[in-house]
Structures are given as structure tokens and as C-alpha cells.
Amino acid sequence: MLLRGGRRAALLLSVSAAASVAGAGALARRDPDTAVYASASPPLRHALSAAAEGLLSGTRLFSPWPLPPPYQGFPIINSFASASVSPAKLSDQGSAGISDDSRCGPGCLGRNSIAKAASAVGPAVVNISCTQDAHGWLLKESIGSGTIIDPDGTILTCAHVVADFQSTKAVVRGKVSVTLQDGREFEGVVLNADRHSDIAVVKIKSKTPLPAARLGSSSRLQPGDWVVALGCPLSLQNTVTAGIVSCVDRKSSDLGLGGLRREYLQTDCAINQGNSGGPLVNLDGEIIGVNVMKVRNADGLSFAVPIDSVVKIVDNFKKNGRVVRPWLGLKMLDLNPMIISQLKEKSSTFPDVRKGVLVPMVTPGSPAEQAGFRPGDVVVEFGGRSVESIKEIIDIMGDKVGVPFKVLVKRANNVTVTLTVIPDDADASR
């Protein structure tokens, strides 16, 4: 017989199916520990019967189906053997066809990938509650989540969990209580909170170093990447949900949010009240976002602040005590070849550019208007560097308020103009 190693189950499948129809004596020779039973249609039973006869007789096996020349007589033995797995080993198989993740390379979703990512960050995830009381009466309570990012007790969370805002000034909601995964409780102090990004930093004091999570990078994320959300929805601590990245640059304007321009990571992880401030984690167990909100009455629409943006916000907290945002007073639009083509079709005077940022509107009295910007301008250079996106302009400005920037713009009929704009502080301007 040709029963060798991993081919045993596949060959028994063909033998068993054939014997069930043809009444062959193969059933008498089956091993009860490895036998595989299958139901098949009459044409398939006929084919398997022919295949089984060839295997049992030791003769060369050829296709029982009539094939046109030059494929007549094409051997099909490998189609039975190539994907075979011994039934005795089926119980050892993981979700990716392996018993563990030892052979799982970068980007591979193994059986334990999500569990490993959650366990790497889980001890650093905390439950945060803020209570306001008067003369012993509980007036208001806010719940959320957070992540310890430094063993000294520095915690990332959402601003709306721990603070209210009067104009741009943050007012702590009340007593901040922080509960760790191991049950320890601490009183927290709100160090900083930013209304526009909805990011806050809380500090707790411990006599021993605390578990801290690693920060990753959100710039390498792609739609379809697996992510894990951790937090305390409805104060249910140690809750883990998983999903994928749906969009890496969902704009605040897409969500109908006014004010300054922001970008979010969109995921389909389950997020509920109490998840705010909790971490969004990649399969390497690194924080790549801070969960901030979901769409009410909709499933699979959750949003997080990218960790790259959060790092800049925290750096601003350390440097300036708040987030400093330069304001130009421009409404801008990223250009791509398709948009440029449409604009050229509408107006033959549109400048000949391959990339850049279009200025559809200039705010009256703004630094941009004072610098001489006009609606229809296309920004091709900012601060001496070529630009093709709003994000690049924001990155070039950084936190530089009151600093002049040279801007190269192209106008109708390919007129090139150099302007000098001095950004204002966004909070001071509004």
C-alpha cells in the first residue's frame, strides 16, 4: 500500500468513500483511530472509487475525468496528498495551522497573538473615576480608562474623563481615583488636559515602580491591521476587545466636528462608556492610539487619537505647560492628480501644479489675510520645504507662534508669489 506518513488520512478518505459505494473490503482494514468518514455526491464517489482502486493496486494513478489533449493522463496523486494532515494531529493544530506562535513571523496572526498583546499591556491599564460631591451628596461621577506609560505613575487618559473646560482652561471634575488591574487604588492628580485633542495626563504616587506600557508608532499602521482595545467599559475592569484598523486618517470634519483640524484612527473594536482613555494596541503589545469616542447607535465605528499625535501633545505639556497650536486662518485642501484634473477642467487658468495644498478660503483679519493669501492660491512650499499635504504644513510650524514663515504659492495663469506669514496662537485667537 502507499500509506506513508501524512498521506495516511487523505488516502483513507478516498478509500473509505469508495468502499462505502463499491462495497470494497477496505473498510475491514481501516484503523478506528485514524479513519475519516465523508459523504459525497455520486460523481465524486465514482471518481474516488477509481482513485482508490489505483492506490490499492499499486498502479500509477491517472485522472478519471476526460481531459482534452495534451492533458490526458495527467497524474492527480498530489491533489490528494499535498494538503493532507493526520487526524491524530488535528487536535494539535492552532487557528493558523500550528500548535503555537513559534513560527509566526511579523504581521502573522497566530492563535495567541491577541492574547499576548493584551497581556503585555493589561497590567498597565487602569480604571479612572472622578466624583464631585457636596456635603456628602454625590453630585456627579465620571468613569474612564487610562494607561500607565512610565513606572513613576504617569498615566495617559482622555481629558473629558477628568476635566471640564471653561473657555480653554481645564477644571478638574473632582476627586480622581485610579484603580490598577491588581486591585490597588491611588488618588490621582491631573497634571495637564487639552480640550482640542481630548488628551490628559494624570499622575499617581507609588512606593514601588508601576507596570508601564510601551509606546509604538501610528505612522506605520495600514487599514486592515489587527488592533486590540483595552479598558474598563461600564467599570468592568480588564476588558479586551479586538478588531481591525478601518481608516488611518479619519478627519474631524468627516465626523461633523468643528474647531481645529484633527485626525483619528478608525477601528471596529467594541468601545463603550468607560473605554475612553484606554489604549489601542498593536499585535506587538505597543500603544498606537488612545480611544476617545464611538458613534452612538452604530456598531464598529470607534475612534482613537494616534499615538504619534499624543507624543507631541505630551511634549508640549512638558515644554509649555499646554499645547501651543499656531493658527494661520486658512481653510486648506490636499491636492492629488484627480482633483487637479477636475479643477483644470473647470478653469483653464488653474496653475500647472502636480501637488500642493489648495486654499479655498481665507479668514478675514487672520494672519493669512494680513500676509496676502487669496482664495484659489496653491501652496507649493512652506518654510523653504516642498509640501503636498496640510499635515506637512502643521508639522513644519510645530509650536512656533510669532515666527515668520516664507510661503511660495501659485496663482491663476501660473503666477508665482512669495508671502511671509506669522502664525498666531490658536487659543489666543479664538
Please report, for residues 57, 59, 72, 362, the alpha-carbon distance to residue 62 in angstroms, rounded to integers and kept in the order given.
13, 9, 9, 76
By annotation, the residues acting in catalysis are 160, 198, 276
Helix axes 42-57, 8-22, angle to 10 degrees: 120
Asked if 290 and 305 touch (Cβ cutoff 8 Å), the reply is yes
C-alpha angle 56-61-63 in degrees, rounded to nearest 5:
130
Comparing C-alpha atoms, which of 248, 348, 385, 232 is closest to residue 304?
Answer: 248
At a CB cut-off of 8 Å and minimum separation 6, what does 202 contact?
128, 146, 154, 155, 157, 162, 176, 178, 188, 189, 190, 191
Cα 391 from Cα 397, distance rounded (Å): 10
Q: Look up residue 252 and give its three cell numbers.
A: 474631524
Place of cell 490636499: 334
Asked if 195 and 257 touch (Cβ cutoff 8 Å), the reply is no
Asked if 378 and 355 touch (Cβ cutoff 8 Å), the reply is no
Q: What is the DSSP pairing of strand 185-194 with strand 263-267?
A: unpaired
